[in-house]
Amino acid sequence: MTYADDMAALSDLLRRLSEAFGPSGNEKAVRELVRAEVQDAVDSIQVDAMGNLIAFKAGGVAQAQGSAERRFRVMLAAHMDEVGFMITEINKNGTLSFKAPSVDARMLLAKRLVIGENHVPGIIGAPVPHLQKGDAAGRVVDSDDLFIDIGATDEKGANGKVKVGDFATFATSYTALSDDPAWPTARGKAFDDRAGCAALVALLKGGPYPVDLYGVFTVQEEVGLRGARIAAYRVDPHAAFALEGTICDDLPRPADEDSTPVTRLGDGPAITLMDRSLIAHPGIVRLLQETAEAEGMRVQYKAPGLGGTDSGAIHLVRAGIPATAVAVPCRYIHGPAAILNLNDLSATVRLMDATLRRIGFEHVSR
Ligand SMILES: [Zn+2]
């Protein structure tokens, strides 16, 4: 278990994954990074038509679990894509119009971006506040009024650098905020879901496990859980877990405000019981609970009813696949920079490592 024990290595892995360019539909840079990381630790790697990377690690205790047909198959899914921007028009004055379907417009003003595979730097511009009159000056700028400025003065200048249909992401470098072993926090972009990708890389480099493990790095989660659906069809697992970076809103709030945070930083892996995409399989939840107890690990439960993950798409494939999600709490997901606690990330690796050693057909019966 190199990564779960070595916080510096885990932080460095997360840094490389976080800084990789991978808006939905453009996951190649992340995929190549993942491939280089895991290829020596797995039995085979496939990339499907949509761009999902499926890494297969055969069960290492074959005798205990029988032949390959009888061995328990587990799919762990982590999505490679991050929220992003698509260039829709190059304007006469050299600015770029864009669409950013999964980003809150209030997050956009004045943010730095990189555009396309060549990482052309840009900034999100808006009408100057001083020149706005009346109501307009106090309102959040409508995202249709925003544009990307790459420093070009006209259409021709911009055209040389970017094209309509190019994608962009926030430009945020990874920073370790604290190396206090009790509270090792880090800041970076795309922790949703490069935190899950880091956990999955660590698990594939660990083992061997008694089960056949399919580590699937999925595409296009942020635009509708798309890659996971076809990957689950191919893998046909007996159980599946989405490894995620999830909502965390644990910041101080007024004392009389009666609301429990969705998750808390530092409280360990967050297990999904129910969200907008699935109700977790009870046997799988029980297995996670028993495993955490046996390992003396703290876990938390994501507040129900919020968001959705790849497990939502996976559990509806074929005749139904027992599934849930296990996530690393991340403050400010879908924004230019999130914050997580590396202890939650390493605990997620340890919990899933122990779960892979216990899981079997008895956990997925009804
Ligand atoms: Zn996610």
> Over the stretch 216-228, which tens digit does the pLDDT of each residue have?
999 999 999 999 9
Please tell me the distance between residue 67's alpha carbon and the centre of ligand 1 in angstroms.
35
- In this predicted structure, the answer to whether residue 170 has a pLDDT above a threshold of 50 is yes
Q: Are residues 269 and 327 in the same domain?
A: yes
pLDDT for position 138:
65
Phi, psi of 301 (to 5 degrees): -115, 125
Cα-to-centroid distance, 154 and ligand 1 (Å): 37
Instruction: Give the residues across from 55 on adjacent strands.
Output: 45, 215
Claim to verify: residue 219 and residue 324 sit in the same structural domain:
yes
Domain containing residue 108 = 85-170
Are the CB atoms for 189 and 82 separated by under 8 Å? yes
pLDDT bin (cut points 50, 70, 90) of residue 299 is very high
Same domain membership, residue 162 and residue 214: no
Is 64 within the bounds of a domain? yes
Confidence of residue 359 (pLDDT cuts 50, 70, 90): very high
For the stretch 103-137, pLDDT in tens is 888 889 899 999 998 999 999 997 776 666 666 66
Q: What does the CA dihedral 53, 18, 23, 78 come to, rounded to 10 degrees?
A: 40
How far away, in angstroms, is 233 Cα from ligand 1 center?
A: 20
Distance CA 181, CA 195 (A): 18
> Do 97 and 12 share a structural domain?
no
Query: How many Å lie between the centroid of ligand 1 and the Cα of residue 102?
Result: 11
| Residue 89 within a domain | yes
What's residue 104's pLDDT? 84
pLDDT at residue 273 greater than cutoff 80: yes
In a domain, residue 184? The reply is: no
Residue 144's CATH number: 2.40.30.40
Query: Do residue 201 and residue 328 come from a single domain?
Result: yes
108 and 8 in a single domain? The answer is no
pLDDT at 193 over 90: yes
Q: Distance, CA 157 to ligand 1 centroid (Å)?
A: 36
Q: Is residue 179 part of a domain?
A: no
Three-state DSSP at 81 gives coil
Domain count along the chain: 2
Q: Are 264 and 347 in contact (CB under 8 A)?
A: no
Active site residue 221: yes
Q: Is the domain of 63 the same as that of 210?
A: yes
- Residue 33 has a pLDDT of 98
- 214 against 70, higher pLDDT: 214
Mark whether 199 and 250 lie in a shared domain. Answer: yes
User: What's the gap in Å between 246 CA and the centre of ligand 1?
Assistant: 6
Structural domain contains residue 178? no
Residue-averaged pLDDT of the chain = 91
In a domain? residue 216: yes
Q: Are residues 211 and 315 in the same domain?
A: yes
Give the model confidence (pLDDT) of 42-78 as tens digits: 999 999 999 999 999 999 765 455 566 679 999 999 9
Residues 164 and 235 in one domain: no
Q: Is the pLDDT of residue 163 over 90?
A: yes
Active-site residue (options: 221, 290, 293, 295): 221
- Give the pLDDT score at 75: 98
Q: What is the pLDDT of residue 256?
A: 58
Rounded to two decimals, the pTM is 0.93
| d(C-alpha 365, C-alpha 281), whole Å | 10
Does residue 330 fall inside a structural domain? yes
Q: Do residues 77 and 92 share a domain?
A: no
Distance between CA atoms of residues 214 and 212, nearest Å = 7
Specify the pLDDT at position 63.
47
Q: Give 130 or 317, the one with higher predicted confidence.
A: 317
Confidence class for position 22, pLDDT limits 50, 70, 90: very high
Q: How confident is the model at residue 145 (pLDDT cuts 50, 70, 90)?
A: confident
Give the range with max mean pLDDT: 129-133, 304-308, 324-328: 324-328
**Environment of ion ligand 1 (residues, CB < 5 A):** 192-193, 244
What average pLDDT does range 167-173 have in this prediction?
A: 96
**Average pLDDT in the 32-50 region?**
97
pLDDT digits (tens, 9 = 90+) for 225-248: 999 999 999 999 999 999 999 988
- pLDDT reading at 275 higher than 50: yes
Q: Does the pLDDT at position 301 exceed 50? A: yes
Identify the residue whose tokens are 């921007």. 85
Same domain, 148 and 283: no
CA of 79 to the centre of ligand 1 (A): 7
246: helix, coil or strand? strand
Residue 197 belongs to domain with CATH number = 3.40.630.10
